[in-house]
Structure 1
Amino acid sequence: MCESGDLSMAMELKTAAETLPPEIFRLAVEQAAIAISITDTRARIVYANPCFEQVTGYDAAELVGRNQSILSYKVTPRLVYESLWARLNAGESWNGLLVNRRKNGSRYLADITITPVLNAARETTHYLGLHRDVTEVHQLEHELINQRALIESAVDAAQVAMVLINQQQQAVLSNRSYKALQLRLKNDPLNQLLAALTQQWPNHFQSDKARTQGFPALEITMESSQLGSPLWFSCSGSLIEEKDTSADGYFHNQSNHYLLITLQDITSLKNQQSQLRLSSLQALLAERERVQSVREALSGAIYQLESPLNLINAAARLVERRNNNDADGLLKLLGEVQQAGRQALDMLQSCIPAPTEEATQVVNINDLLKNTLSLLTPRLLAAGITVDWQPENQLPSIQGKPTGLVTLFKQLLDNAIDALKDHKGSVREIRVTTRSLEEAVEIRVEDSGPGIPSQDQLKVFEPFYTTRSSGKGHLGMGLTLAQDIVNSHQGLMEIDPDLTHGCVIKVLIPYV
């Protein structure tokens, strides 16, 4: 029933079309918004609609009887016209672009479709031309192409590596600097880059959030087995939205999001900063050591003076107990000696520099140890000592006094170097390891030297006690100072008593 109704309606529409008055066709062509012309087989214009007049600037009276070539302009290659007539002579339609000239001499780009009009005998009697001005479209297309070329050239010329990634974290576009970085690292750095951002900035970079919001400039480091030393980059991410260009997206706006990541190589800058920091640290340590040397010298002098002064005090008390009248002169003399000795001790005590107060801050033990080893590199090389550096990756930060901790590590390493210089063994090695425990960070400094005898393992922390030979500039205050620094951090320092060869000093610094 339904199919019969549809067939009946189709027949009615076909009949209506066949009986449509010719006037309707004429009005449709006259009022069409596209330029329409009809020529004879020799390309002479026999009809042009008002839109054609508007596009070309000629009125109908000026066009009828004139050859279509009135609109041609010399910049259109001859080959285009040869192709056009070849298809028309074969009874086929032709479509293409021609540069035409209006009546006022201005040029425009015309998108033209020419179709042969055939009679009942399949002979061409006329040509129907559909004519559309596409100059603005052409300009917009080429402006877009030019703009894209300029942007790509500028991006390629930039000294900053850039990579555009999609929502699946796949690289879809990169510039020349990024490709150079790939060659430098011998692989695509994208996965390593995203992993470094996640690990080094867990509070500032989340992969899912970055794909929809971007992220600010963050400094990251990437290791490379090819280069040896790590590379430093300032990395930022900008969100780029791409509109949907399909027909489906015309009314329902849809878009794709991309993340543009820029990488500025700051390795050289970081190395310079590190060198400046080491130089500043070296100067600071030298000043602290100078002050500490003065403190040690004065403390040693006071210590040496207190012993005879104590003897004099004892002698004075002995004379007083004997109650000898003839001892008045001796007591007076001893009193004067006591007073002079005490004045000398007070004067020396006042000359001792006050200890340097340092603020507590968040520090990374691995960074401080690395800086200390860098400062001692000349000594290590001169002594032919190799260092086995085994830090724990992602070691938690602690609250500490950075200069004090560097002083601590330098004292321990200086002691190890001195022990190896005195040792005649064939192996000269210092092993430095760090690891995180439940409540503290552990630092172990191990050397392959002669070790410390068990009977001296507690004495070495006493002031002015040293196992070194006299006359070598050792006052025996190094480990005492180290112990004071550990105590100021509520930590623990001990010598491993179970080691049979060499020496291991273990330091525990609590997190809080």
Structure 2
Amino acid sequence: MRIPLFDDASLMEQTACAPMPSALRPGLFYTAVEQSSVAISITDPNARIVYTNLAFRQLTGYGEPELTGTNHNILSSRQTPKKHYQEMWSTITQGLPWVGQLINQRKNGSLYLAEVSISPIFSADGQIEHFLGMHKDISDSYALMQRLRNQMSLIAAVLNNVPAPVVVLDEHDHIVMDNLAYKTLCADYGGRELLAEMGYPANKAGLAAGERVTLDIGGVQRVFGLNIWQLAEVNEEVSRYFSDVAPPRTLVTLIDDSESQRQRAQQRLERLKHKLVSGKLLAAIRESLDAAMVQLSGPLNMLAAARRLSLDGALHPGLDAAWQEGQQALARLQACRPSLEQEESDFWSIGDLLKDLSDLYQPRVRDLGELQWRCEPEMLLGFGQRHQILASLSLWLDRCLILANERPASPLIITLHAYSQDNAFFFALRDNLSLHPVHNAVPTQTFTMPGHGMELRLIQTLIGNHQGMIDLHTQAEGGTLLTLRLPLPARLFRHPVMTGESE
């Protein structure tokens, strides 16, 4: 039989009267407690049950006669630690409320996790008369929470075993999760935040488009890029409970491109070496053919003079045949001379050229001494056939290495300085190897031994092809100074980068 919540008066009359709680009849409170969906029990100070509502009996499986007068430990499963009960009793016997979790056992033996709130009820004289307990079965929510924790642990374990650094960012680009690889990388970078050092999020668009960033980590140059994905996120904020619109999350994976970059750089250097070898070989062939033509020209000139001095005007058949064959041989040599125009003349960064030269020669110079270079200004541009200019500088470094190996007494020191002046750009190569003073035009016979002149003749050939000049002399402090002067196109004489002026 359903007990009415109000007297026979109409609901409107009761609402209009707005009775105070003390004016409501006791049956209302009993009905409210009995019909509450919250499991409620009341015990005496010794924990003997004096009342349980329907929700409590349904939760535990016990009937009212089985519970009334029975100690509340009838629900004990022996799974809750004793110190937990001791803490509970210590609190409520002091007249204080207690909230906690207990592992309880139903009549059928099944266990459930109860969230229990116990409040003392005091008599008129302030003594504890009863304890009011409210119980809630949180087994399902606990199981869900544990599954979530397990999933998070699994995700963390997977992420930590991923060799690539991975981070998850919130809508403000703050890190909310990262893996062990990322933590380790940040530690190796001095504890700094690696994403921020890479320019994220300031350069988010560029990094997402594939830009690479070079960082010095532990003294090693490493190259990184980013892969960026947007994640679908489940809303966790109470304010968005009904909208279910979650803020965006971003998954970022750091790509260590160092090895690929190193391989590409090595492949580029190998191609550069091949071009340099080809350029040097062409210059050497051309120089050798020029030398042969010079040697052949001497006898031919003598034959030509003899023909002109013939008294009777009649040419000696043998003399004329020799002269004709000599001219044909000279023409064949001329036809065999390779062209030095192997690439289009264009603009290029002198700083990049010197870096290429340093990358090529540092491994060879390192065991003998040091190679230093500088370019002033840093953005200085050159003009001409880049690989020929590079080959010219390479030839002189070859000469330095040959002499340094022959005289290993003192460490080799080579400095290379590029600058612009008087409508031309210059390369000044200094070393601490001795050489007799030589200026510009050098007699061929002066340089005959390998490593003592052949390189200079080839440099003259390559620089001469650019209408340039060379100057070589001994420095007062010892060693040699080779200066290469290369003209700039007339239309660029006033360009600030070409002249070495700042804009």
TM-score, with structure 1 as normaliser: 0.70
Cα gap change, 1:467 to 1:266, in 2 (>3 Å):
farther
Match of 1:477 among 448, 454, 457: 457
Once the two structures are superposed, residues 297-355 of structure 1 have per-residue CA deviations (whole angstroms, 9 ceiling, x without a partner) of 23322332234334434544555xx664xx15x2x444433432233234334444555
Determine if the alignment matches structure 1 residue 222 to structure 2 residue 212. Answer: no
How far the C-alpha of 1:131 sits from its partner, in A, is 1.0
Tell me, in whole angstroms, the C-alpha distance in 1 between the residues paired with 2:274 and 2:98: 85
Match of 2:295 in 1: 304
Cα gap change, 1:364 to 1:75, in 2 (>3 Å):
farther
Match of 2:483 in 1: 505
Match of 2:223 in 1: 233
Whether contact under 8 Å (1:363, 1:397) holds in the other structure is yes
Determine if the alignment matches structure 1 residue 132 to structure 2 residue 136. Answer: yes
Match of 2:3 in 1: none
Cα gap change, 1:74 to 1:391, in 2 (>3 Å):
farther
Whether contact under 8 Å (2:419, 2:427) holds in the other structure is yes
Q: What letter corresponds to residue 302 of structure 1 in structure 2?
A: M
Cα gap change, 1:474 to 1:49, in 2 (>3 Å):
same
Match of 2:333 among 345, 348, 368: 348
Match of 2:276 among 285, 293, 313: 285
Determine if the alignment matches structure 1 residue 446 to structure 2 residue 430. Answer: yes
Match of 2:118 among 94, 114, 128: 114
Match of 1:6 in 2: none
Pairwise mapping of residues 184-333 of structure 1 onto structure 2 (< 5 A)? 184=188, 187-190=190-193, 194=196, 197=198, 207-210=201-204, 215=208, 218-223=211-216, 227=219, 230-236=220-226, 238=228, 267=258, 270-271=261-262, 274-275=265-266, 277-316=268-307, 319=310, 324=313, 327=314, 330=316, 332-333=317-318
How far the C-alpha of 1:135 sits from its partner, in A, is 2.1
Structure ranking higher on relative contact order (CA contacts 8 Å, 6+ apart)? 2
Tell me, in whole angstroms, the C-alpha distance in 2 between the residues paired with 1:336 and 1:63: 139
Determine if the alignment matches structure 1 residue 16 to structure 2 residue 26. Answer: no
Cα gap change, 1:167 to 1:443, in 2 (>3 Å):
farther
Pairwise mapping of residues 377-392 of structure 1 onto structure 2 (< 5 A)? 380=365, 386-390=370-374
Name stretches of at least 5 consecutive residues in structure 1 with no aligned partner.
1-11, 199-205
Determine if the alignment matches structure 1 residue 429 to structure 2 residue 375. Answer: no
Is 413-422 or 123-132 further displaced after alignment? 413-422
Cα gap change, 1:64 to 1:136, in 2 (>3 Å):
same
Q: What letter corresponds to residue 220 of structure 1 in structure 2?
A: V
Whether contact under 8 Å (2:123, 2:129) holds in the other structure is yes
How far the C-alpha of 1:445 sits from its partner, in A, is 2.2
Cα gap change, 1:283 to 1:14, in 2 (>3 Å):
same
How far the C-alpha of 1:104 sits from its partner, in A, is 4.6
Match of 1:407 in 2: 391
Whether contact under 8 Å (2:104, 2:113) holds in the other structure is yes
Whether contact under 8 Å (1:35, 1:52) holds in the other structure is yes
Cα gap change, 1:380 to 1:124, in 2 (>3 Å):
closer
How far the C-alpha of 1:86 sits from its partner, in A, is 3.6
How far the C-alpha of 1:87 sits from its partner, in A, is 3.4
How far the C-alpha of 1:14 sits from its partner, in A, is 8.6
Cα gap change, 1:88 to 1:16, in 2 (>3 Å):
same
How far the C-alpha of 1:112 sits from its partner, in A, is 0.4
Name stretches of at least 5 consecutive residues in structure 2 with no aligned partner.
1-15, 499-503
Cα gap change, 1:423 to 1:100, in 2 (>3 Å):
closer
Q: What letter corresponds to residue 136 of structure 1 in structure 2?
A: D
Tell me, in whole angstroms, the C-alpha distance in 2 between the residues paired with 1:437 and 1:232: 37
Cα gap change, 1:506 to 1:292, in 2 (>3 Å):
closer
Identity across matched positions, percent: 28
Whether contact under 8 Å (1:233, 1:263) holds in the other structure is no
Once the two structures are superposed, residues 125-173 of structure 1 have per-residue CA deviations (whole angstroms, 9 ceiling, x without a partner) of 4332211122233234334444444444454455445678899999887
Is 357-366 or 286-295 further displaced after alignment? 357-366
Whether contact under 8 Å (1:391, 1:434) holds in the other structure is yes
How far the C-alpha of 1:189 sits from its partner, in A, is 4.3
Cα gap change, 1:190 to 1:131, in 2 (>3 Å):
closer
Determine if the alignment matches structure 1 residue 339 to structure 2 residue 324. Answer: yes
Match of 1:7 in 2: none
Once the two structures are superposed, residues 412-443 of structure 1 have per-residue CA deviations (whole angstroms, 9 ceiling, x without a partner) of 43455578889999895321134689999764
* Structure 1 counterpart SS, 2:202: helix
Cα gap change, 1:93 to 1:420, in 2 (>3 Å):
closer
Tell me, in whole angstroms, the C-alpha distance in 1 between the residues paired with 2:484 and 2:248: 53
Tell me, in whole angstroms, the C-alpha distance in 2 between the residues paired with 1:506 and 1:169: 53
Match of 2:6 in 1: none
Match of 2:79 in 1: 75
Whether contact under 8 Å (2:121, 2:131) holds in the other structure is yes
Whether contact under 8 Å (1:97, 1:112) holds in the other structure is yes
Q: What letter corresponds to residue 276 of structure 2 in structure 1?
A: L
Cα gap change, 1:356 to 1:238, in 2 (>3 Å):
same
Q: What letter corresponds to residue 277 of structure 2 in structure 1?
A: A
How far the C-alpha of 1:76 sits from its partner, in A, is 1.4
Q: What letter corresponds to residue 339 of structure 1 in structure 2?
A: Q
Tell me, in whole angstroms, the C-alpha distance in 2 between the residues paired with 1:356 and 1:104: 98
Whether contact under 8 Å (1:244, 1:256) holds in the other structure is yes
Once the two structures are superposed, residues 61-80 of structure 1 have per-residue CA deviations (whole angstroms, 9 ceiling, x without a partner) of 76556553343322112332
Whether contact under 8 Å (1:165, 1:172) holds in the other structure is yes
Match of 1:52 in 2: 56
Whether contact under 8 Å (1:52, 1:131) holds in the other structure is yes
Q: CA RMSD in A?
A: 5.0
Tell me, in whole angstroms, the C-alpha distance in 2 between the residues paired with 1:439 and 1:106: 96
Q: What letter corresponds to residue 369 of structure 1 in structure 2?
A: L
Tell me, in whole angstroms, the C-alpha distance in 2 between the residues paired with 1:274 and 1:183: 28
Tell me, in whole angstroms, the C-alpha distance in 2 between the residues paired with 1:169 and 1:121: 60
Cα gap change, 1:438 to 1:126, in 2 (>3 Å):
farther
Tell me, in whole angstroms, the C-alpha distance in 1 between the residues paired with 2:33 and 2:347: 83
Pairwise mapping of residues 18-167 of structure 1 onto structure 2 (< 5 A)? 18-58=22-62, 63=67, 67-161=71-165
How far the C-alpha of 1:410 sits from its partner, in A, is 0.2
Is 287-296 or 466-475 further displaced after alignment? 466-475
How far the C-alpha of 1:400 sits from its partner, in A, is 7.5
Whether contact under 8 Å (1:72, 1:100) holds in the other structure is yes
Tell me, in whole angstroms, the C-alpha distance in 1 between the residues paired with 2:238 and 2:420: 59
Tell me, in whole angstroms, the C-alpha distance in 2 between the residues paired with 1:159 and 1:115: 54
